Amino acid sequence: MTDPSPLMQITRPLCEAALEVKAENVLALDVSGLSAFADVFVLATASSDRHARAIADKVMEAARTGGMETLGVEGYDEALWILIDLNDAIVHVFRGEAREHYDLERLWGDADPLFAGADREAEAGETGA
């Protein structure tokens, strides 16, 4: 089932792209009422620097396909925390230790969740896939 809301039209393809390359703990937060610089934060965890770059590459490809412009990318070379600025959405790809350290889920605790990686598994279970 697809959600026609504008935020989900932005969010779901980015989250699905991250999941496609085995990102862990994918979470999207609606920060539209809390932030002046973005509407959505997408967070994903990678198991290695190479994995983090693969997730970032796949997310940027999905953004391009969806007509979103990448305004900037930070941390790609180090791949401990890659930040992808897509204007309305900001994607954070973390290595596990960095995600735990910066704990954006707690920092943006007032934000409503839009998507969690478990959603995909629940949907697959419901359809028998």
Q: In what order do the strands lie in the sheet with 112-116?
A: 72-74, 81-85, 89-95, 40-46, 24-30, 112-116
Does some domain include residue 25?
yes
Does some domain include residue 36?
yes
Q: Which domain holds residue 65?
A: 6-127
Q: How many domains are there within the chain?
A: 1
* DSSP string across 4-27: -SHHHHHHHHHHHHHHHTT-EEEE
Q: Which pLDDT value is given to residue 118?
A: 53
CA distance 9 to 39: 12
Residue 87 sits in a domain whose CATH number is 3.30.460.10
Q: Which pLDDT value is given to residue 1?
A: 42
Per-residue pLDDT tens, the chain, 129 aa: give them.
445 588 888 899 999 999 999 999 999 999 988 888 899 999 999 999 999 999 999 999 999 999 999 999 999 999 999 999 999 999 999 999 999 999 998 889 888 999 887 544 434 333 343
Does some domain include residue 11?
yes
Does some domain include residue 47?
yes
Does some domain include residue 45?
yes
